[in-house]
Structure 1
Amino acid sequence: MAKVLVLNGPNLNLLGTREPEIYGSTTLKDIEQMMAARAKEAGIGIDFYQSNHEGCLVDKVQEANHHYDYIIFNAAAFTHYSIALRDAIAAIDVPLIEVHISNIHKREEFRHSSVLAPVAMGQICGLGIESYMAALEAIIYKLKK
């Protein structure tokens, strides 16, 4: 059975209450439940992990190698400056899709660039929580090919 790891970075544990005008009112647990239901329907395994700590996320990326078929990653603020996460992603053989709830290209200037994008399979942003679901659907499609 194919397996997907969904990683979430800093402050995403506050979804549902943090800046709802940007991120909406859906919680991270709600997103995980939606993704788990869709993954079950598609016959794939899915695991979730969230941390506010960069090193913990680096460890999870490294541990994913040879254990997962794909990673979906919302690195949040780490997207814009974590060379450590970028290097961890580049060092593994697991394709990764970078996701963001908001459109990082329409926000503050410092959010416009991603140091992860050059080592990611792709990037989905600006679709709200559907960014996660779009990434999962892309993976399901690729697994069926």
Structure 2
Amino acid sequence: MSHPDQSRGGRLLTLSNAAVGGLARLGAAPRACHELTVPGRVSGRVAARPVNVLDSDGRRFVMSPRGTTQWVQNVRAGGAVTLRHGRHSETVRLVELADDAKPDLLREYLRRWGWQVSAFVNGLTADSSDADFHAAAARFPVFEIATA
């Protein structure tokens, strides 16, 4: 059985995540790319994943274009994560948004990073209809970044 974070892409996705996370850790990734670390809800082992931080109207958000992955389940169980980009590291709390608050943020995320995540969003694009975004909202966890 494949790990949910690897269900689409397998080993190549794992290697890609490790490479992008490493670049974020070094500060060599684009400014919005951060390495998110979160303790496992069962093992307690810290897991790291690259995420894009969306700035919108003075607020910051992260989303999971792959749906309810292991890191999402770990966040739901604990809430506190560390975001790192280069030497800057911050411990924050992630607060999950209700589905009705997601459509505009999902559209903006896809406007900026659709080219990175197109394989995971089932044909949804920044140009999709409002109805499509409302219908898809439940499939994509979105969290607001709050201070810990």
Question: Under a length normalisation based on structure 2, what TM-score does the superposition of the two structures give?
Answer: 0.29
Task: Determine which structure has the larger helix proportion and give its number.
Answer: 1
Question: Under a length normalisation based on structure 1, what TM-score does the superposition of the two structures give?
Answer: 0.29
